[in-house]
Amino acid sequence: MLRGTRPTGRASSPRPPGGPVHPERPARGRRSAPRGSAAISRTRYSGVGHLAVIEPHTPLPTPDLRKIIVRVFEEHPTAVSAVSVAFEGQGFFASAVRSVATGIMMLANTRIPFRPCGRVADSVEFLSKHLTAPGAPLDPRICLGAVEELRHEMGRRASNRLEPAVRRRR
C-alpha cells in the first residue's frame, strides 16, 4: 500500500505498527492485512493506496482468501482511497485474473476507486491521481521505482531460500 493524503489535502498519519505493505517494508503475509487495516482505521489514517501486483502463473485466490479481502474492505471502508491490481500477463488467464479482482471489489460493495491493469506502470498512474504525498502530488515514477525495488528484493530473498536446497541436491 502506498501512503499519502487524499486530494482533499488532509495530512497523513504515521504508519501504524503491523500495518499494510509499504514500499519501504516487505509484506508480512496475507493474514496481516485485516489487522493492518484495523490499525489504519483506528488512527483515522487516510490516503492509502492499495496496489496488488500479481505475477504471471500466480494461482487465483482461494474462496477463503477472497472472503478475507472482501471483509477487510467492508470493515474498514474509509481506510483506503484507491485500489489497483496489476497483473502483468497476457491472454485468457490474465483476463480471468483481472475479472476475479473486479468481482472481489464489487462484492466488497465499496465506493473506492478501483482499476485492474495489465502493467504496474498503469496501476501506479491510476493511484497517483487519487493520492498525494504530504504537500505535493504523488510522483508515479517514485512509486514505480519503489515497486520495482521491492520486487527485486523479494526475488533475491526467494533465491536465497532456494539456494541451500539446490546445494543439498548436488
Residue reference for cell 489514517: 45
Residue 109: which region, alpha, beta or left (left: phi > 0; alpha: psi -120 to 50)? left
Give 51-67 pLDDT, tens digit per residue. Answer: 888 887 777 778 898 88
**Cα separation, 124 vs 119, whole angstroms:** 9
Integer-rounded Cα radius of gyration of the chain: 17
**Cα separation, 14 vs 42, whole angstroms:** 12
- Sequence-separated (6 or more) residues with CB below 8 Å from residue 108: 69, 70, 73, 74
Give 114-128 pLDDT, tens digit per residue. Answer: 898 888 999 999 988
